[in-house]
Amino acid sequence: MATDCVELDPQDEVAARFYSKIDRSKAVQRTGEGLWLVLGHPEAVQLLRNRTVSSVTRKPALGIWDQVSSRFFMFKDTQQHLKLRRMVSDCFTPARLNELKAIVHQTTSDHLDQLSELTSVEGRQVDIMKTVAYPVTADAICRLLGVSPVEGTFLGQWAVSLSKHTSDEQFNRSAEQILAFFQDQLSAYRNISNGSGLLPIMAERALAAGIDDDELLATCILLVVAGFETSANFFGNMLLSLLWRRERFEHLVADEALIGPAVEELLRLHTPAHVVMRRTTEPTVVGDTVIPADVQVAVLLGLCNRDPRIFDDPDAYRPDRSSNPHLSFSQGSHYCVGASLARVELEAMLRAVLTHLPMLSLHTEQPLRWSGRFLGRGLDQLQVLAS
């Protein structure tokens, strides 16, 4: 693969193939199989903000991971959802996020210095997913929780296994390990009075709010898997898009004020989770359509983020948009609780890359491959050269 590619971004090609199979003439429609689709931005906002629409769409729990994930607050409604969400959201204070931003930038810089040394040998390819994306995001979430770096290494490995679902045996083993880890952590924090990070804070708030240990443990695991996976996956997808059309990367090197807007624009174009599922509990008006009660609704966030009624030239990369109300973090009561954290991580990581490796380029002859994850898609690897 040449480093000066001008053809369509591979992610845009995948999106185009997917979107071409969908009739986009109606913002709300029913498939032949009985699934309802929401394809328009205003209609998606209307549905996602409707409190009578349920997020409980999962099948009964079977294995250990099913049992744990069924307790994630993203799959809960009303007071149960709000109680669990507050336990987490109140912890993401501006001061804590600013502290984490500095940590992420420094950690990324350290890894990039190592990457630069690795690529000093002419022709040496380095996988930036393995050397930067995974270790930095794992370190960030562990620091946020108050987990030691040594323990964090194992936590990151288990999270990768859960994210990639490489094999049933490895998947189940990782699920058991991460559950046992947090059970031990919870027990330890209840026997000390000065623990750092979010874990002791969450444990204290769970007790005050009447949240049981199963729900607390599930929320800890959700923070690790979602926080680690989403940022690592999207960092790779974002960097690929910038390096594929390298003038985009060079533009940010020249003008760092565009880093934040560029992250938002790439979140819009390459929506991390293209689809969210909902279930109607009563007949629901969405746009000029009435969706019947008790049916599954798929909100195609990726298509909504390219609605020409909202975004001028929606398929184009334009970081200078005056308004960018994308739905990549959803909407309503289930708006991503970690959205601020994700933005902090992504901007800090990208800023460090631009500062330390302004000559970074793609260097791979192998086809790009994505794997399905718990929350979206991630590159198996992304080979780069530092100069």
First to last CA, the chain: 16
CB-based burial label for 31 (10 Å; 0-12, 13-18, 19+): exposed
Question: Distances in Å between the alpha carbon of 44 and those of 8, 21, 111, 331, 372?
Answer: 28, 20, 39, 8, 24
Residue type at 145 in one-letter notation: L
Report which of residues 374 and 196 the model is more confident about.
196
Percentage, residues of the chain above pLDDT 70: 87
Cross-strand bridge partners of residue 275: 300
Predicted confidence (pLDDT) at residue 194 exceeds the cutoff of 60:
no
Q: Residue 351: what residue type?
A: R
Q: Pick the more confident residue, 188 or 336.
A: 336
Q: pLDDT: is 38 or 102 the higher one?
A: 38
* Residue 231 identity: S
Q: If you average pLDDT over residues 208-223, what whole number do you get? A: 87
**Residue 2 confidence (pLDDT):** 37
What fold characterizes domain 10-68+78-385?
Answer: Cytochrome p450 (1.10.630)
The more confident residue out of 46 and 199 is: 46
Q: How far is CA 131 from CA 128, 163, 289, 351, 357, in A?
A: 5, 18, 49, 17, 14
Q: Of the ranges 32-41, 177-186, 270-279, which one carries the lowest mean pLDDT score?
A: 177-186
pLDDT at 282 over 80: yes
The residue with greater pLDDT, 78 or 309, is 309
CA gap 15, 317 in Å, rounded? 14
Does the pLDDT value for residue 4 go beyond 50? no
Cβ burial 286-309 (10 Å sphere, 16+ → b, else e): bbeeebeeeeebbbbbbbbbbbee
Contacts of the segment 258-264: beta carbons below 8 A, 24+ positions apart:
258/319, 258/320, 259/347, 259/350, 259/351, 259/354, 260/343, 260/347, 261/319, 261/320, 261/321, 261/324, 262/319, 262/350, 263/238, 263/343, 263/346, 263/347, 263/350, 264/319, 264/324, 264/326
Query: What is the mean predicted confidence (pLDDT) over 184-197?
Result: 67
Averaged pLDDT score across all residues of the chain = 84
Whether 128 and 115 have beta carbons less than 8 Å apart is answered as yes
Name which of 163, 331, 137 is nearest 236 in CA terms.
Answer: 137
Q: Determine the pLDDT at residue 5.
A: 44
- In tens, the pLDDT along 82-137 reads 888 888 876 777 888 888 888 888 888 888 887 777 666 655 788 888 888 888 88
Structure-token pair, residue 166? 């490489």
pLDDT of 149 > 80? The answer is: no
Amino acid identity for residue 49 in this structure: R
pLDDT for residue 6 is more than 50: no
pLDDT at 18: 78
Q: What is the pTM of this model?
A: 0.88
Q: Which of 37, 44, 81, 46 is nearest to 334 (CA)?
A: 81
Beta strand 289-291 pairing with 284-286: antiparallel
For 250, the enclosing helix (H) or strand (E) is helix 246-254
Query: Residue 1: its pLDDT value, please?
Result: 39
pLDDT of the residue at 364: 66
DSSP letters, 9-40, are -HHHHHHHHHHTTS--S-SEEE-TTS-EEE-S
Q: Taking the domains of the chain in order of start, what are their residue ranges? A: 10-68+78-385
Is the pLDDT score of 226 beyond 90? no
Q: For residue 107, give the nearest of 129, 80, 136 by alpha carbon.
A: 136
Average pLDDT of the segment spanning 333-341: 87
